[in-house]
Amino acid sequence: MRFMVFWILAVATAAHAHSYPSRPLRIVVPFAAGGSPDVIARGLAVQLDPQLGVSVIIDNRGGANGIIGAEIVARAAPDGHTLIHSPPAFVVNALVYKTLPYDVLRDFTPVTNIGNSGGYLMLVSPALGVNSIREFVALAKAKPFSYGSPPAGNTLHLATEMFRLRTGISLQHVPYKGGSETFTALIGGEVQVILVPPPAAIAYVKSGRLRAIGFTGVARHPAVPEAPTFAEAGVADMVVDFTWHGWFVPAKTPMEIVRRLHAEARKALQSAPMRALMESNGFQPVANSPEEFRVFVQSEMKRYAEIVRAANIRVE
């Protein structure tokens, strides 16, 4: 009798997976339109529409550093028709917020890592009068400085805290709603330094409105070769390349559907338009397997947790 029940369930699951997708696919982007998660998700939607034979809808649900959108997906039916496309804030929130309306590891199934970025540029205003990280550190030790980032728990927040801890300087964190506000704050002198992804920064640097004094990647960024790596600038153990975009579905989504989503994402990322879009936004396609992505997420959470603990970052 027990064997019969398992057999019936297996047949039903296989039939469900075979008919998937049976309606439009909804990709929840837990941030406002215009940022790299939104841009890349929309590019994927264009590729996925003909691949899946159904409409792929991007649903921007910004707010609370991605928590609102993540809760929507956690509560969605586990049938593969709703997924989240999110940067690392998805897992960092579990480390910095006292409570969440979901459990990142228990309520979601990892699908794949869409892509990784190579690092962040450190920007200052030319009016500050510093041309290097060494000069900035020396000045920051003599007077109080502040830095801006999107909401608390963002990877830019964590990266700047790493810099503060590695150099022993005092920096006051000023959170903003989004990346554009941090640029305005830096230009206006509200804060003295920001770390940002290169694609967002290059126009400001090339125009001379802001100055790039360092890059957190393992090698200099080709678009801003004048900015040395932090290692070259004398800041040890400061390689920060932990921005990525991942897909997650509600827990209990059948693995046949999870693997189908992974396969479709991988196919979409192999297209020339998608690869060009990823590169222009500072990302390299990954598309690893659900099992590999699960291990990666657990490893990243451990890495973030060490920074959060050392910097004593908590959000009530």
pLDDT per residue over 52-75, tens digit each?
A: 999 999 999 998 889 999 999 999
pLDDT tens digits, 253-277: 999 999 999 999 999 999 999 999 9
Task: Give the pLDDT confidence score for residue 16 in this predicted structure.
Answer: 53
Average pLDDT over residues 64-90: 96
Would the pLDDT of 135 be above 90? yes
Q: Which pLDDT score, from 0 to 100, does residue 228 have?
A: 97
Buried b (16+ CB within 10 A) or exposed e, 161-200: bbbbeebebebebebbeebebbbebbbeeebbbbbbbbbb
Domains observed in the chain: 2-117+243-311 (3.40.190.150), 121-215 (3.40.190.10)
Taking residues 94-121, what's their average pLDDT?
95
Q: Is the pLDDT of residue 2 over 60?
A: no
The predicted structure's pLDDT at residue 17: 58
Question: What pTM did the predictor assign?
Answer: 0.88
In this model, does residue 245 exceed pLDDT 70? yes
Mean pLDDT of the chain: 92
* Average pLDDT value for residue range 214-229: 95
Close Cβ partners of 4 (under 8 Å, ≥ 6 residues apart): none
Give the pLDDT score at 178.
Answer: 80
Q: Give residue 6's pLDDT.
A: 44
Torsion of CA 242, 251, 177, 179, to 10 degrees: 30
Query: What average pLDDT score do residues 173-179 get?
Result: 88
Quote the pLDDT of residue 150. 86
